[in-house]
A and B are shown apart, each in its own frame.
Chain A
Amino acid sequence: GQNIDQPTEMTATEGAIVQINCTYQTSGFNGLFWYQQHAGEAPTFLSYNVLDGLEEKGRFSSFLSRSKGYSYLLLKELQMKDSASYLCAANSGYSTLTFGKGTMLLVSP
């Protein structure tokens, strides 16, 4: 079966760094996606990892450990506009994505 776990909510302060963790168990694994979703809007792509290690993209970085079934999204220099839900999704083959329930991040001044 498929199971994706991530924290429900996190809070952080503007300018700080926050790490959002995700653990997954899937039958078949072909990479891990992170999406950002603002309230009432469509999810937008942030990152993709298929090999172990860290992928850096500006203020956002994503890490994957396949042996541990673990990923995290690191957001640096937080801005108010980063307040959103962050969705972890495992690609279990073809283009099928299994999503976690999302982590709501609230950035305060």
Chain B
Amino acid sequence: EAQVTQNPRYLITVTGKKLTVTCSQNMNHEYMSWYRQDPGLGLRQIYYSMNVEVTDKGDVPEGYKVSRKEKRNFPLILESPSPNQTSLYFCASSPGTAGGTEAFFGQGTRLTVV
């Protein structure tokens, strides 16, 4: 089954404790991205990647890192999480870098930083 898989689905952590949210897709998609979704603010892009070893900042990259060592995986790293990073996170992938290609979303990771 074609899918984007995120782990974990839920995470409660403490301020400053490094964490990684994994994202994997089995559709051989070139383009992957991370979003955060907050009430009243909608989906905002954190980082994106157009292919292996090619990543770039989105609209809200501060406090986050990403890597794209393999085509299928695009982990999101929070080196020192803070409470303002409490949010619902979505990973997405799409077939190519040309416009008009549908994005497929993972099921989301609800992160709480206390």
The answer to whether A and B belong to the same complex is yes
The 6 closest A-B pairs by CB, nearest first: A30-B99, A101-B42, A42-B105, A95-B31, A99-B43, A94-B97
Asked whether A48 lies within 8 Å of B100 as measured between CB atoms, the reply is: yes
Asked whether B40 lies within 8 Å of A95 as measured between CB atoms, the reply is: no
A residues less than 8 Å from B90 (CB atoms): 42-43
Residues of B near any A CB (own CB < 8 A) = 31, 33, 35, 40-45, 48, 50, 58-59, 88, 90, 94, 96-108
A residues less than 8 Å from B106 (CB atoms): 42
> In the complex, which of the residues A48, A87, A95 has the most CB atoms of chain B within 10 Å of its own CB atom?
A95
A71-99 contacts to B (CB < 8 Å): 87, 89, 91, 93-99
**Interface residue count for A (Cβ, 8 Å)?**
24
A33 at the interface (CB under 8 A from B): yes
Asked whether B107 lies within 8 Å of A31 as measured between CB atoms, the reply is: no
Asked whether A93 lies within 8 Å of B99 as measured between CB atoms, the reply is: yes
Q: Could you tell me the distance between the alpha carbons of A45 and B97 in the complex, rounded to whole angstroms?
A: 17
Q: Could you tell me the distance between the alpha carbons of A60 and B111 in the complex, rounded to whole angstroms?
A: 33
B residues less than 8 Å from A41 (CB atoms): 107-108
* 10 A-B residue pairings within 8 Å (CB atoms): A30-B100, A33-B102, A40-B108, A41-B107, A42-B106, A43-B90, A87-B43, A96-B45, A97-B33, A98-B45
